[in-house]
A and B are shown apart, each in its own frame.
Chain A
Amino acid sequence: MKNNWWKGLAVVLLLYVAAAGLLMPVPRLAILNESIRNLYFHVPMWFGMTAVLTASVYYSVRYLRAPTPQLDILSHEAAKTGIYMGFVGLATGSIWAKYTWGAWWTNDPKLNGAAIAMLIYGAYLVLRSSFQDEQQRARVSAIYNIFAFAAAMPLFFILPRLTASLHPGAGGNPAFAKYDLDSNMRLVFYPAVIGWTLLGFWLAQLASRVAFLKQKVYDKQLA
């Protein structure tokens, strides 16, 4: 219980974000209107995804230094959670785009970069499922995971800034300059980022623990 305080924090922050995200004052901007509140839900998905994928790479590196099945499970489940959050980020962004830019998808460098990065991570799952041997699977997917992270992060956060883009935080724009002026939004946005990120770690932890249990039961049956 002592080690679970961060789960309580996640619950409080997410409930706060659900209420404050809809009720707190936001800047009155044309086109965006109330949809500016999506900032509290769409953007934290990407923050959470980045944090969980970073954890996944951390476990992959540790696996390659000193291989254990646990590290492989932790890295795999973290990567899966990150991929889930990334797809939720794409879906929510698509809805937001439809009602502000007028299309579900535009050939914007930020959008296409994110889509390519998600495909790179999709290949991680395909690669993993194509091995019979457990140790080979763990080793090769740990290596691929590091390369996937190194390829995906510039696609998400660096390349879109080098060209013109509609998306805030791309095309040379500092990410939140337009909204950051409003300190009311910060009161919700920062707790939202922390809350959703913690939820991502919580889900990854639960998935890993189920996988540990499965492995233990399997080992016992073999013994």
Chain B
Amino acid sequence: MKRGRVMRIVTLFIALLLPVLRAAAQTADQPEMADALRQSGKIYVVVAVIAVVLAGLLFFLISLDRKISRLEKEVRD
């Protein structure tokens, strides 16, 4: 049950990122953009690093939220 929900969220996440593929199909013209980074594929490294940092921060926030909930329960009793 739980796994099904996680899979659904992951699928949704990947589906949301589909338009990225269209960017890869575009050719370079006029003003410079970070094409080289994208061609060599290394921009994904940066994306991964940012995602890890953000995920870490959000995880910290969630665990802080839980700790406060537990403390609230203790104070109430």
Contact = CB atoms under 8 A, between A and B. Distances in A.
A19 B47 contact: yes
A19 B48 CA distance: 8
B32 to A, nearest CB: 6
A12 interface: yes
A25 B19 contact: yes
B68 A23 contact: no
Nearest to B12: A12
A14 B58 contact: yes
B33 A7 contact: no
B7 interface: no
A19 B23 CA distance: 13
Q: How large is the interface on A (under 10, 10 to 19, 20 to 34, 35 or more residues)?
A: 20 to 34
Given A18-B50, A19-B17, A22-B43, A206 B23 contact: no
Interface residues of B, number: 33
A126 interface: no
A216 interface: yes
A217 B22 contact: no
B71 A213 contact: yes
A29 B31 contact: yes
Interface in B1-42: 9, 12-13, 16-17, 19-20, 22-23, 26, 29-34
A6 B44 CA distance: 28
Contacts of A22: 43, 46-47, 50
Contacts of B44: 23
Nearest to A30: B31
22 contacts: A4-B65, A7-B65, A10-B58, A14-B54, A14-B58, A15-B13, A18-B47, A20-B17, A20-B20, A22-B50, A23-B17, A23-B47, A24-B23, A25-B22, A28-B29, A28-B33, A30-B31, A33-B32, A34-B33, A202-B61, A213-B71, A213-B75
